[in-house]
Amino acid sequence: MKNAVQVPNFLQGVISPMLTPVIPDSQLSIDYDGAQEWVKWLISRDCVSSVFARSGMGKMYSFTVSETKMLCADVLKATRGKMGMMIGCGGEWLERRANPAIKPNPRRYLSQAIELTQYAGSLGADAAVHPMPEAFMPDSGESVPDAILRYLRTIHDATEIPLVLYQPPGTPPAYRMTADLMQRVLTLPRVVGMKISSHDPAIFSPVADVVRGKGFGLICGDETYYLEGLKQGAVGVIGEGSSVYPEILHRIRTAFLAGDMAAAEAAQQDVGRALALKNQGQKLDGNMLWKQVMILNGVRMQPCDRDEAKPLTQGTVLAVNRDLKALLAPYRKA
């Protein structure tokens, strides 16, 4: 409990990685009004601590600097005083969508990351989120961990807002957080948390062992690992369910903190059942599916995505929505 009390409130509990509403125009422009609508729906759930805009689920690498700034400003209008808000502040890496092997210019990437972090701070966001910087190449003779620390320290020293690190799924091994690197990162006082998207104890546990009891907000980025992560000292979760069925994830932590492990285990199993709804005889596109489910539940946006996925059939979405409502019923009643 001591660790949970020390961690900033916006890093505790359910954090929504916001799916990005998109307009089906030639540019696949961001629907900023739709983003505010989604935030209002999250607030209405009364169990979401914060929203993470320009998230991995929201296709963060498709964003330009100007789009990030506009989204940051619009989401803050909706969250102000009602929930926490974090914004993804890595630089542009537009090439990643076509070929992840094509890296951006590292100096430009760092400069943009600083610019976006300063902007997020000027607006009053709670934190700037930075992916592990695989786009930032080491200098000659420099190790990857040294380059990562140099990147983070440069942003840290040029800005004033709290920083949260993000290790996405598929992060190359060389750019993953290790126990040794985390010990060094903890010397940067405004790095206050990290999301690790893995259910592999070999990846998650060493970092958990280092930060436990230090007031650091370790966040499970894989919701199937949430209960196990809580046992290791994690304080929050950022998963696709955080935006669609946050009540179930909320129950895992509240039951865990109350010592009701049976209820926590049952809720964790229901997370698995909710995720399984994407398999309706075929593996459905979760990004598109959950957008269409949210539309059915009153969020005003369009069934469009920057990966140009086609909308699922109405019958499929209605079936998933029906099964999800049945799964959520006892949690919403509680």
Do 291 and 300 touch, CB atoms closer than 8 A? no
- The beta-carbon contacts of 59-64 under 8 Å, at least 24 apart in sequence, are 59/20, 59/287, 59/305, 59/306, 59/307, 60/88, 60/90, 60/131, 61/93, 61/94, 61/96, 61/97, 62/94, 62/97, 62/306, 63/30, 63/88, 63/92, 64/92, 64/94
pLDDT at 281: 62
pLDDT (tens digit per residue) in 155-176: 999 999 999 999 999 999 999 9
Three-class SS of residue 98?
Answer: coil
pLDDT at 95: 86
pLDDT (tens digit per residue) in 30-80: 999 999 999 999 999 999 999 999 999 999 999 999 999 999 999 999 998
Backbone angles phi, psi at 250, to 5 degrees: -60, -40
pLDDT at 296 over 60: yes
pLDDT at 101: 85
Rounded to the nearest angstrom, the gap between the alpha carbon of residue 168 and the centroid of all alpha carbons in its chain is 9
Q: CB-based contacts of 154: which residues, under 8 Å, 6+ apart?
A: 110, 114
Q: CB-based contacts of 32: which residues, under 8 Å, 6+ apart?
A: 70, 71, 74
List Cα–Cα distances, 69 to 66, 74, 81, 206, 214, in angstroms.
5, 9, 20, 35, 32
pLDDT at 212: 95
Average of per-residue pLDDT across 99-126 = 94
Rounded to the nearest angstrom, the gap between the alpha carbon of residue 198 and the centroid of all alpha carbons in its chain is 13
Pairwise pLDDT comparison (183 vs 284), residue with the higher score: 183
Average of per-residue pLDDT across 114-120 = 98
Domain 2-261 in CATH 3.40.640.10? The answer is no
Which stretches of the chain are DSSP H helices?
A: 2-6, 32-44, 65-79, 106-123, 144-158, 179-185, 201-211, 226-231, 246-257, 261-276, 286-296, 314-333
pLDDT at 7: 93
Q: Which residue, 227, 226, 239, 112, is CA-closest to 169? A: 239
Backbone angles phi, psi at 25, to 5 degrees: -100, -175
Average of per-residue pLDDT across 98-115 = 92
pLDDT at 5: 45
Q: State in Å, rounded, how far the first CA of the chain is from the last one.
A: 23
Lowest mean pLDDT: which of 5-9, 74-78, 327-331? 5-9
Q: Which residue, 89, 85, 78, 61, is CA-closest to 300? A: 78
pLDDT at 4: 44
Rounded to the nearest angstrom, the gap between the alpha carbon of residue 317 and the centroid of all alpha carbons in its chain is 24
Q: Which residues are paired to 128 by β-bridges?
A: 87, 163
Q: Show the tokens assigned to 123.
A: 């607006």
Q: Which residue, 255, 224, 215, 250, is CA-closest to 236? A: 250
Amino acid (1-letter code) at residue 318: L
pLDDT (tens digit per residue) in 125-154: 999 999 999 988 899 999 999 999 999 999
Percentage of the chain with pLDDT > 70? 98
- Give the model's confidence band at 2: pLDDT under 50 very low, under 70 low, under 90 confident, else very high: very low
pLDDT at 1: 37
pLDDT at 243: 94
**Average pLDDT taken over every residue of the chain:** 94
- Give the model's confidence band at 286: pLDDT under 50 very low, under 70 low, under 90 confident, else very high: confident
Lowest mean pLDDT: which of 25-39, 224-238, 248-262? 25-39
* Cα atoms in the 13 Å half-sphere on the side-chain side of 290: 23
The ranges assigned to domains in the chain are: 2-261
d(CA 22, CA 7): 34
pLDDT at 148: 97
- Backbone dihedral region of 118: left (phi > 0), alpha (psi from -120 to 50 degrees) or beta? alpha
Question: Looking up tokens 């992840």, which residue turns up?
Answer: 100
Burial degree of 103 (CB within 10 A; 0-12, 13-18, 19+): middle
